[in-house]
Each structure stands twice: as C-alpha cells, then as structure tokens.
Amino acid sequence: MQLDNTAAIVTGGASGLGGATAQALAKQGVAVFVLDLPASIDNAPDVDNVTYIGTDVTDGEQVRVAVEIAASGGAPLRTVVNCAGIGPSMRILGKKGVHDLDVYAKIVQVNLIGSFNVLALASEAIAQTEADEQGQRGVIINTASIAAFDGQVGQAAYASSKGGIVGLTLPAARDLAQYGIRVCTIAPGIVETPMLATVSDEFRAGLAAGIPFPQRLARPDEYAQLALSIIGHDYLNGETIRMDGALRMAPR
C-alpha cells in the first residue's frame, strides 16, 4: 500500500513506540494525527506533518471526533497504529491482599478496549475511502506484547489485555476484509521506551543479557520499521508478529 499523500492515526504517539512510528510515517509523506492524553502531548516534540489531538482512547466520543479530524484533512485515511497502553504490575494474591479489581479493569480498558475503540471507529472512516486498483483501503496495526504469551509474575492484568489484542487480530482481519482493510499485530519484547528511563544501567543490562540475539533492548525505531514493513506488505493480514530477539520470558 502506498503511503504518500495519505493520512494516518497513531495512538500513544507522543513518545515511545508511537512517537517513533508517527515520525517514521511523517517522513514518508503521511499526514499523521497523533491521539494521546493532553499531559503527554505537552511534552511531545514538534514534528513536521504531525498533528496532536488530545484524546482518551477509551472515550468513544473523543475518538470519534479525532477520527473525523484525521479523515477530513484532504488525504484519505489509510493507516492506524495503536500504541497507547499502560502496564502497572500487581500479583493476583500478594502481601497487600487480592489484586485490585479497578486496576485490572483499567489496564484492560486502556490496552484492549481502547485499541478496539480506535480500530472500530477508524475502520468506519477508512471503509468510506476510495479503494486502490487492488481493492485496498487501509491497514490497522495493534500492539500486543510477548507478555500475551509469556506473562510473568505480576502481569495477570497486562497479559490479559495483550492476550486480548492477539485474539482480536484474526477475527478483526476477517470482519474488515470485505472493506479492503488489513489488520495485524506487533508483539514487542523489551523495548527501550520512557517506561524504562527510570531504571538503572545495571538493571537494563540484566534485561538485555536474557535476550538470545541481538543481546540488547529493542529500539522504538525498530518497532516503527516493522510497522512500515507491514503497511507495505499487502499480503500480511490477520497475523501477530513477535519482535523480541527470540526472547521467551521467565516466570519472573
């Protein structure tokens, strides 16, 4: 699928995986609309071809308005990359008692339901665009995690939400096939994102040591590179792709 003179939505695009993806798409001549929380946007870089829209992905009306803005900018909306997510950890039964149900629900609400909300509303707008000569209208990429397969101690809620993303991938691709919209998922391993900025170099080195090869943390730009590869590969559909250096997470 051609990217030049098209529009894209990237959630969680003020930093991290989404930020790298938004910048990579913008360099390809895409009009990028970043959906992120206002507090995150306040600290986001000023990038050519990137427009920031303060949006809570769990709010249907906010997402609907943001999608309308992205779809009415003059270029056809072709791409959506869902990167918005949170990752608090808590054991099902720990020293402080049972897992807080509100915390569990919040993680699922943001990571899984938020992604579905954007996918559904954006697909409606993409379906209204004119298809190319091969019947293509767009591609939607969701973000899971290897925790969907190898969830560790304390990741019950996070792994549940990301496992839901993996489970969503194929039926979403089948649902949207009639509209020429592909759906794929990226399941990253350990990526050097702002969430790791507060940990020590020793801890970071310990994480890298467990990765078979390359024995280092992944970079956000490598996620962006994979996203662009999926967009450009018209036969990739309904698939979850691990980006983890062959890492299989230990229990803890």
Active site residues: 158
User: CB–CB of 81/11 below 8 Å?
Assistant: yes
| Dist CA 194 CA 150 (whole Å) | 22
Distances (CA, A) of 207 to 13, 189, 218: 25, 11, 11
Secondary structure class of 81 (helix, strand, coil): strand
3-state helix, strand, coil in the chain (%, to 5): 45, 20, 40
What are the phi and psi torsion angles at 9 (to 5°)? -110, 130
Provide the token pair at 164. Answer: 């839901």
Q: How far is CA 207 from the centre of its chain?
A: 22
Provide the token pair at 110. Answer: 């943001």
7-11 and 31-36 beta bridge pairing? parallel
| Dist CA 187 CA 200 (whole Å) | 25
User: CB–CB of 48/24 below 8 Å?
Assistant: no
Count of all residues that appear for the chain in the document: 252
DSSP single-letter state for residue 214 = S
| Dist CA 252 CA 250 (whole Å) | 5
Contacts of 60 (CB under 8 A, 6+ apart): 117, 121
